[in-house]
């Protein structure tokens, strides 16, 4: 069943490794060894995290992070649940 | 409204606005430096920077409105908009007006950032380095408290904070530029990354 | 195998002149024959030869649809930034009219009103040859007409475009590895900056001057020029082990030399080794690099019988790429060779994306320390971890290619890397050179 959803996209050239997105959305974004964002398995944002995702998009000092409207063909992955321990 | 009260409000709101603006400038510099501690994440610096900027605009508005409305000062609405036409200390008030204009440009473009694009936003944001010192000059030249010990203390702390922050920023940019100098033409490999504040930003090239 | 692209006068005579080209191959086909050139290219199965291997017909069709009859641009990609590849500069230097034929056909097929020749600044011979060839064609007094946009359906099929009047210009991007990437090429023409940009939109949607742009490798265009004359059946009439068609490859022998050869698809690595003078013996080789610095390694005993076919290579997790084959001498140390390549790839980063800049550099540093037998404790483990972290996290595919090669090296030369991490190397000090001079066989 198709549904409207949001996907995280990052402009890799604009991204300058500020790392604030990973602080605000640790359920979906990790930082690599050099401070740049890695998305965990699925870029589709679960509904319960959409507000946090918007905040992460707003805070990025270089506007590298975007939320894109997509059509998701299945309910969002449960990737956030088990691994959703907030980092310090 | 008692003119005395209005004058207190003008001076108080102006001072608070200046202190907030100083903190905002420092937070902006700390954002670019990627400063953080175990308890203070980077997003906090960025969000405070924005929120305090908006708050300082509120106090700025109070400062302007109470000054304009005050019958004793006899300044009139136009003095707040057009520089150097104020009957009272026109030079110093005029400097304040220019400072407001630059500051408003920074805030408005920041609110509309997604619409105007990164380049335009960045160019106007540099005007902040013009708005702040003009605000300080305005407070020294136009303010009736300028000679008071407490006001001098405020001025010294504000100026000192921004000067230190700017020095820190220039030192980091200098170091980063050296490190990244050879990257683009491939003659020198980029250095292994340093963790922590001041880490190289590509824009420093 | 009868040469196709490399048929014609002796190579010592230099670039083939227009008269010889026309005498040998005849004129470009007339209107009727090119009307369905895109369809012909699709059935021929011709794949792009710049590295990505995208079907040529499909690319032209996408651009033609978007251009809707006019306003597209053709970019002839002769950047050849891959140091082990020499085929493109050889083709441009020796058979420039084949390349220009292909460009003009592409322009007619997609509805382009401009051709840009994108030739790396270091390829002086190629630039001279192409420049002279363009002048030769301009001097002839036979304007020809070819129907614009060759897609079926909604297109301005009433419009005729004189094929010779499409303006051609030559640009020279800096000689760097990423200059040949398609978005980098378009970016250079638009803004003088040969670095990749964030996609989408891709060039076939919005390219030069925001118009739909075909970015096509010179070899692909040359083959298109022959297929337009002789047909898709002709192209598919040769091939081995079930493959169909031919391709140029650059064979890098263990010595300094690189040799450009035209081979049937499906020929094995061993076949290619025998075509080089002197022939390369399997005993002298420990591993074979397939696909250049964007490719991967196979041990010699597995590589020798391996067919050079895009499909078969893909199944192995390798790619045909730009048709580069490197033969690693049995005496060379594969760890030091990998470290040299990793260092080169790190230095060739466009330096726009953090994971590429810092990741490739960290990898190069660790690989070099391992190669020099002075590793840090977790260097080898870090190499594997970083290879996973860097993949797919740049704006272009450069970091992917670099870590792809590294990953293959760790698989193929696992024992050697293990030894090096413990301070031992079983090879002599010889290291395979990173760049080479080349010639055509």
Judging contacts by C-beta atoms under 8 Å, the chain B residues touching residue A59 are: 43, 46-47
Euclidean distance between CA atoms B162 and B165, whole angstroms: 5
Q: Mean pLDDT for each consecutive 10-residue tract of chain C (441 residues)?
A: 89 90 87 76 93 92 88 94 91 95 92 93 92 89 44 34 71 91 95 90 92 96 94 92 91 83 94 89 92 87 93 87 91 91 89 88 91 88 90 91 92 92 78 60 63
Judging contacts by C-beta atoms under 8 Å, the chain C residues touching residue B192 are: 358, 361-362, 365
- Best of B29, B31, B41, B43 to disrupt the A interface (most A CBs within 10 Å) is B43
Pair C16, C129: CB distance under 8 Å: no
Judging contacts by C-beta atoms under 8 Å, the chain A residues touching residue C353 are: 12-13, 15, 36
pLDDT at residue C424, rounded to an integer? 87
Residues C295-308: pLDDT tens digits?
Answer: 899 999 999 999 99
pLDDT at residue B109, rounded to an integer? 93
Of the candidates C348, C352, C365, the beta carbon closest to that of B192 is on C365
C353 and A16 in contact by Cβ < 8 A?
no
Query: Chain C, 378-437: which have a CB under 8 Å from a chain A CB?
Result: 386, 389, 393-395
Q: Is A50 on the interface with C (CB under 8 A)?
A: no
Q: Is C317 on the interface with A (CB under 8 A)?
A: no
Q: For domain C334-421, say whether CATH 1.20.1440.230 is its number.
A: yes
Q: What is the ipTM of this complex?
A: 0.78
Residues A12-61: pLDDT tens digits?
Answer: 999 988 999 999 999 999 998 888 999 887 789 999 999 999 999 999 99
Q: What's the burial of B150, exposed, middle or buried (CB within 10 Å: 0-12/13-18/19+)?
A: exposed
Residues C186-241: pLDDT tens digits?
Answer: 999 999 999 999 888 899 999 999 999 999 999 999 999 999 999 999 999 999 88
- CA distances (Å), origin C382, targets C356, C398, C410: 15, 20, 12
Euclidean distance between CA atoms C374 and C383, whole angstroms: 15
Q: State how far Cα A34 lies from the chain centre.
A: 18
Judging contacts by C-beta atoms under 8 Å, the chain C residues touching residue B193 are: 358, 362
- CA distances (Å), origin A65, targets A9, A30, C196, C410: 6, 14, 19, 34
Cis, peptide link before residue C200, omega less than 30° from 0:
yes
Confidence check: pLDDT of A88 > 60: no
Quick one: closest CA in A to C350, which residue?
A13
pLDDT at residue A75, rounded to an integer? 56
Judging contacts by C-beta atoms under 8 Å, the chain C residues touching residue A9 are: none
Tell me the shortest Cα–Cα distance from B42 to chain A, in angstroms.
Answer: 6
- Chain A touching partners, 3 or more CB pairs below 8 A: B, C
What does the domain layout of chain C look like in residue ranges? 11-235, 246-329, 334-421
pLDDT at residue B202, rounded to an integer? 53
pLDDT at residue A82, rounded to an integer? 35
Euclidean distance between CA atoms B122 and C53, whole angstroms: 40
Quick one: closest CA in A to C388, which residue?
A32
Tokens of C283: 């005993």
Of the candidates C197, C354, C394, the beta carbon closest to that of A17 is on C354
CATH, range C246-329: 3.10.20.600
pLDDT at residue C431, rounded to an integer? 57
* Ramachandran region, residue C77 (left: φ > 0; alpha: ψ -120 to 50; beta: rest): beta
Tell me the shortest Cα–Cα distance from B61 to chain A, in angstroms.
Answer: 26
Sign of the torsion angle spanned by Cα atoms A33, A35, A36, A40: positive
Euclidean distance between CA atoms C63 and C422, whole angstroms: 54
CATH architecture of the domain formed by C11-235: 3-Layer(aba) Sandwich (3.40)
Hunting for tokens 């600044």 — which residue is that?
A: C121
- Tell me which residues of chain B have a pLDDT lower than 50: 184, 186-188, 195-198, 203-205
Pair C284, C254: CB distance under 8 Å: yes
Q: Is A13 on the interface with C (CB under 8 A)?
A: yes
Residues C32-80: pLDDT tens digits?
Answer: 566 689 999 999 999 999 988 899 999 999 999 998 878 999 999 999 9
pLDDT at residue C150, rounded to an integer? 39
Q: Give the helix/strand (H/E) hosting C290.
A: strand C285-290
If you write DSSP's letter for every residue of A14-83 in order, what string do you get?
T-----HHHHH-TTTEEE-TTS-EEE-S--EEPGGGHHHHHHHHHH-TT--EEEEEEEESSSPPTHHHHT
Pair C352, C196: CB distance under 8 Å: yes
Quick one: closest CA in B to C344, which residue?
B186
Q: State how far Cα C71 lies from the chain centre.
A: 26
This model's pTM is above 0.80: yes
Judging contacts by C-beta atoms under 8 Å, the chain B residues touching residue C365 are: 192
Of the candidates C362, C393, C394, the beta carbon closest to that of A38 is on C393
Euclidean distance between CA atoms C242 and C441, whole angstroms: 25
Tokens of C307: 């067919």
Quick one: closest CA in B to C346, which residue?
B189
Q: Which residues of B touch C (CB under 8 A)?
A: 180, 183-184, 186-187, 189-193, 202
Judging contacts by C-beta atoms under 8 Å, the chain A residues touching residue B32 are: 61
């Amino acid at each position: 069943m198709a549904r409207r959803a949001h996907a995280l996209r990052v402009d890799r050239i604009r991204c300058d490794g500020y790392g604030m997105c990973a602080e605000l959305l640790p359920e979906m974004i990790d930082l690599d060894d050099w401070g740049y964002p890695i998305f965990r398995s699925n870029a589709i944002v679960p509904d319960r995290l959409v507000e946090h995702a918007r905040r992460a998009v707003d805070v990025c000092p270089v506007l590298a992070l975007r939320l894109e409207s997509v059509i998701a063909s299945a309910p969002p992955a449960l990737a956030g649940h088990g691994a959703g321990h907030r980092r310090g | 409204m008692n003119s005395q009260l209005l004058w207190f409000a003008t001076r108080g709101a102006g001072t608070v606005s200046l202190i907030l603006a100083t903190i905002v400038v420092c937070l902006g510099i700390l954002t670019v430096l990627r400063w953080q501690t175990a308890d203070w994440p980077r997003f906090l610096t960025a969000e405070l920077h924005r929120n305090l900027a908006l708050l300082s605009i509120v106090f700025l508005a109070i400062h302007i409105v109470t000054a304009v409305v005050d019958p004793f000062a006899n300044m009139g609405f136009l003095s707040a908009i057009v520089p150097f036409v104020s009957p009272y200390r026109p030079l110093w008030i005029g400097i304040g007006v220019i400072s407001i204009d630059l500051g408003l440009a920074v805030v408005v473009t920041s609110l509309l950032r997604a619409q105007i694009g990164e380049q335009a936003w960045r160019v106007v944001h540099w005007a902040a380095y013009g708005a702040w010192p003009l605000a300080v000059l305005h407070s020294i030249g136009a303010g009736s408290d300028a000679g008071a010990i407490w006001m001098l203390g405020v001025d010294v702390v504000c100026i000192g904070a921004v000067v230190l922050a700017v020095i820190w920023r220039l030192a980091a940019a200098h170091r980063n530029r050296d490190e990244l100098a050879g990257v683009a033409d491939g003659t020198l490999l980029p250095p292994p990354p340093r963790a922590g504040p001041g880490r190289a930003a590509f824009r420093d090239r | 195998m009868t040469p196709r692209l490399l048929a014609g006068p002796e190579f010592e005579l230099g670039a083939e002149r227009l008269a010889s080209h026309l005498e040998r191959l005849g004129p470009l086909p007339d209107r009727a024959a090119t009307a369905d050139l895109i369809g012909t290219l699709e059935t021929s199965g011709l794949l792009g030869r710049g590295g990505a291997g995208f079907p040529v017909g499909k690319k032209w069709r996408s651009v033609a649809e978007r251009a809707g009859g006019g306003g597209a641009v053709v970019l002839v990609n002769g950047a050849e930034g891959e140091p082990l590849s020499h085929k493109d500069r050889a083709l441009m230097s020796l058979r420039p009219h084949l390349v220009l034929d292909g460009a003009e056909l592409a322009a007619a097929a997609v509805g382009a009103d401009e051709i840009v020749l994108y030739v790396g600044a270091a390829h002086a011979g190629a630039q001279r040859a192409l420049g002279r060839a363009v002048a030769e064609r301009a001097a002839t007094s036979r304007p020809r007409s070819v129907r614009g946009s060759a897609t079926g359906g909604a297109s301005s099929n009433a419009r005729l475009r004189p094929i010779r009047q499409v303006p051609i210009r030559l640009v020279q991007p800096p000689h760097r590895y990423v200059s040949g990437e398609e978005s980098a090429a378009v970016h250079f023409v638009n803004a003088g900056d040969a670095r990749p940009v964030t996609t989408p939109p891709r060039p076939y949607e919005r390219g030069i001057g925001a118009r739909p742009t075909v970015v096509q490798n010179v070899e692909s265009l040359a083959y298109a020029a022959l297929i337009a004359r002789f047909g898709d059946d002709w192209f598919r009439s040769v091939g081995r082990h079930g493959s169909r068609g031919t391709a140029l490859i650059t064979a890098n022998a263990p010595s300094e030399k690189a040799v450009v050869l035209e081979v049937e698809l499906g020929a094995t690595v061993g076949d290619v080794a025998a075509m080089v003078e002197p022939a390369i013996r399997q005993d002298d080789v420990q591993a074979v690099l397939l696909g250049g610095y964007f490719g991967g390694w196979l041990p010699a005993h597995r590589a020798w019988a391996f067919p050079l076919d895009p499909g078969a290579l893909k199944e192995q997790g390798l790619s045909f790429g730009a048709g580069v084959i490197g033969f690693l001498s049995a005496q060379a140390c594969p760890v030091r060779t990998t470290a040299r390549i990793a260092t080169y790839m790190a230095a060739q980063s466009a330096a726009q994306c953090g994971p590429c800049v810092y990741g490739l550099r960290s990898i190069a540093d660790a690989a070099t320390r391992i190669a020099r037998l002075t590793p840090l404790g977790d260097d080898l483990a870090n190499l594997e971890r970083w290879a996973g972290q860097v993949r797919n996290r740049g704006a272009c595919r450069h970091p992917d290619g670099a870590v792809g090669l590294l990953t293959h090296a760790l698989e193929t030369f696992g024992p050697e890397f293990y030894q090096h991490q413990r301070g031992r190397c079983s090879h002599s000090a010889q290291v395979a050179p990173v760049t080479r001079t080349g010639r055509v066989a």
